[in-house]
Amino acid sequence: MKRNKSKRNRAVIGGQWGDEGKGKIIDVLMEDADINVRPTGGANAGHTLCVNGKKYVLHLVPSGIVRPSTMNVMGNGMAIDPRSLCEELRVLSEAGIDWKGRIKMALNANLVMPEHFVIEAARESGKGAVGSTMRGMSPCYTDRTARIGLIVNDLLNPKLLAEKLERNLEEKRFILEHFGKRWVKRVMKHERLQHGRFYSNDGFFNLKEIVAAYTGYGRMLERLITDTDTYLREQLGKASMVFEGAQGFVLSLDYGSYPDVTSSDPGIEGLMKGAGLPVNAAGKVYLVLKAPAITRVGKGSFPTEMGGNRSAEWCESHKQADEELRWPSPNINSRDEMEQGVAVRRLGGEYGATTGRPRRCGWFDAPLARRAFEVNKGTLILTKLDVMSSCKTLRICTGYIYEGPRIRWGETELRKGTSISTAITREEVLAYCNPQYIEMPGWRDDISKTWTWRGLPRRCKQYVARIEELVGSEVSGLSVGPDREAMIWR
């Protein structure tokens, strides 16, 4: 079904732990939009798009690039690894996508530098590990708030780049002393660090080599680097924009399940700040939720995880191939929830687009969605609705019962048995939340070719109505397959 054509701005936000299928929604919305803006995050994100049967995985470049004649902006809130970007542009060229003159990159976006990968390796080896994507996000954003960060524009100014880098490395050297030369040298052999080219026995980092390599990236990317804040402000009201959220709201540094979060804010405020625009320029907000199954990658509490800790441990230490050996044909209706989770993963292709890690799978979590809606508002889009069509019984988490030690939460006290209806997305609480479920019958029909609301099975419509009731907002769109056409607008 076709959506009404409109020229106003729209923002797409993931309402869970990322991987909600936002890439496809953005691609669909870009059909009648002019500019796609990606305001936050970096190469930690992976947006998978299927266009004419071809699959594209984008990390930094906005998804709109696959729509000819659109402009694609990488905003000031992003953390950009220039090496990764050059690689992505090469892949796009190979795929026959003409991106030249169609990408603008914020001159004031944060720059991911070699030391960020090394510091992240150090952090992720200790107690503070969150199971990050190892794309340098946290150290890069930390440097911004520590006021020692570099920006994209520095790539165009070798002298300034060297000066800023020297200042940036000072503190890092103290930290790395603790890990020792052998450890640092080994980490720096990684291909992201050009197989040891940036290592020096004297102070760990070879400044000359880093500056040479990064000014080289600057030369390759110079046509993209511009003042996107001004550009977007000038385009307000003239062009229609789609703001693209990377990651999901529950991974927000400001609102998410801290500390197991990313280092930017994929919520509406973070998005608009990262675009250099006021929040009221967002236009219509779409909150994208995966249902009936949701996913999470990396460490952290996941109350509705199918198979609980068993699943978390399995996903942390296994790859897709291990799983295929262990469960050659997992049963979606298995009484073993762990196996059911594996089946969802297999059916939904739930393996990280950036890291290839198996994504932990769980049931739709209304308290979490309510939290995302409370802050971002907007209308809902449900994705991957076709994946669990063969499931006999679907569970929906409607609330939590707190089962942990007594803890003061402001003026209230949480104790064993306390009911929680809107998720408190802090690890110290979420870790003790026991999901309360209702069960609904599955629709047992393949809906992947049903592209109208009227054509959906009654049970599927009832399921959607229940989600609307539980989250408190209407569902305006449903995605029933990876292709552009597999979309129902109401």
**Short-list 85, 74, 84, CA closest to 40:** 74
- Residues in contact with ligand IMP, counted by CB under 6 A, come to a total of 21
Catalytic residue of the set 27, 32, 47, 446: 47
Query: Can you tell me the distance from the alpha carbon of 56 to that of 69, in angstroms, rounded to the nearest whole number?
Result: 18
Which of 153, 228, 263, 304: binder of ligand IMP (CB under 6 A)?
A: 263
Which residue's structure tokens are 């340098």?
Answer: 136
Q: Which residue number, 44 or 340, has a Cβ lying nearer to ligand IMP?
A: 44
Q: Which residue number, 138 or 240, has a Cβ lying nearer to ligand IMP?
A: 138
Any contact of residue 435 with ligand IMP (CB under 6 A)?
no
Any contact of residue 135 with ligand IMP (CB under 6 A)?
yes
Instruction: Give the pairing type, strands 393-402 and 360-365.
Output: parallel
Which of 9, 132, 376, 389: binder of ligand IMP (CB under 6 A)?
A: 132
Query: Can you tell me the distance from the alpha carbon of 408 to that of 419, in angstroms, rounded to the nearest whole number?
Result: 15
Q: Which residue number, 74 or 232, has a Cβ lying nearer to ligand IMP?
A: 74
Taking the CA of residue 288 as centre, how many other CA atoms within 13 Å lie in the half-sphere pointing to its CB?
27
Which of 15, 18, 270, 341: binder of ligand IMP (CB under 6 A)?
A: 18
Whether the CB-CB separation of 40 and 246 falls below 8 Å is answered with yes
Asked if 47 is an active-site residue, the reply is yes
Q: Which residue number, 357 or 395, has a Cβ lying nearer to ligand IMP?
A: 357
Any contact of residue 297 with ligand IMP (CB under 6 A)?
yes
Whether the CB-CB separation of 150 and 164 falls below 8 Å is answered with yes
Which residue's structure tokens are 């890690």?
Answer: 357
Q: Bridge partners of 393?
A: 441
Query: Can you tell me the distance from the alpha carbon of 132 to that of 316, in angstroms, rounded to the nearest whole number?
Result: 11
Please enumerate in sequence order all residues whose Cβ is within 8 A of that of 216, keeping only pairs 6 or more positions apart, or say none.
none
Residue 206 Cβ, how far from ligand IMP at the closest point, in Å? 26
Any contact of residue 84 with ligand IMP (CB under 6 A)?
no
- Is the backbone peptide bond immediately before 259 cis, with ω within 30 degrees of 0? yes
Please give the structure tokens belonging to residue 177.
């002393």
Asked if 116 is an active-site residue, the reply is no
Any contact of residue 122 with ligand IMP (CB under 6 A)?
no
Q: Which residue number, 309 or 331, has a Cβ lying nearer to ligand IMP?
A: 309
Residue 454 one-letter amino acid: R
User: Which range touches ligand IMP (CB under 6 A), out of 79-87, 129-137, 202-210, 410-418?
Assistant: 129-137
Q: Which residue number, 36 or 262, has a Cβ lying nearer to ligand IMP?
A: 262
SS3 322: helix
Please enumerate in sequence order all residues whose Cβ is within 8 A of that of 469, keeping only pairs 6 or more positions apart, or say none.
none
Any contact of residue 130 with ligand IMP (CB under 6 A)?
yes
- Pure H helices in 222-365: 228-235, 268-275, 308-317, 320-326, 337-348
Any contact of residue 250 with ligand IMP (CB under 6 A)?
no
Any contact of residue 138 with ligand IMP (CB under 6 A)?
yes
Catalytic residue of the set 19, 81, 260, 483: 19
Please enumerate in sequence order all residues whose Cβ is within 8 A of that of 384, keeping only pairs 6 or more positions apart, or say none.
21, 290, 291, 293, 348, 479
Any contact of residue 235 with ligand IMP (CB under 6 A)?
no
What H or E segment, with its residue span, contains residue 254?
none
Residue 300 Cβ, how far from ligand IMP at the closest point, in Å? 6
User: Which range touches ligand IMP (CB under 6 A), out of 15-23, 26-34, 79-87, 187-195?
Assistant: 15-23
Any contact of residue 143 with ligand IMP (CB under 6 A)?
no
Residues 404-433 that bind ligand IMP (CB under 6 A): none
Task: Tell me, residue by residue from 345 to 374, as one string, x for binding to ligand IMP by CB under 6 A and - for no binding.
Answer: ------------------------------
Which residue's structure tokens are 């150090």?
Answer: 122
Any contact of residue 262 with ligand IMP (CB under 6 A)?
yes
Residue 84 Cβ, how far from ligand IMP at the closest point, in Å? 13
Which of 110, 153, 240, 247: binder of ligand IMP (CB under 6 A)?
A: 247
Please give the structure tokens belonging to residue 62.
């906005």
User: Which range touches ligand IMP (CB under 6 A), out of 11-19, 32-40, 76-84, 109-117?
Assistant: 11-19
Residues 380-399 that bind ligand IMP (CB under 6 A): none
**Short-list 385, 314, 398, 382, CA closest to 344:** 385
Q: Which residue number, 112 or 152, has a Cβ lying nearer to ligand IMP?
A: 112
Whether the CB-CB separation of 286 and 379 falls below 8 Å is answered with yes
Any contact of residue 139 with ligand IMP (CB under 6 A)?
no
Whether the CB-CB separation of 347 and 391 falls below 8 Å is answered with no
Taking the CA of residue 332 as centre, how many other CA atoms within 13 Å lie in the half-sphere pointing to its CB?
19
Of all residues in the shown chain, the one whose CB is closest to ligand IMP is 298
Task: Tell me, residue by residue from 32 to 51, as one string, x for binding to ligand IMP by CB under 6 A and - for no binding.
Answer: ------------xxx-----
SS3 156: helix
By annotation, the residues acting in catalysis are 19, 47
Which chain residues interact with ligand IMP by CB under 6 A? 17-19, 44-46, 130-133, 135, 137-138, 247, 251, 260, 262-263, 297-299
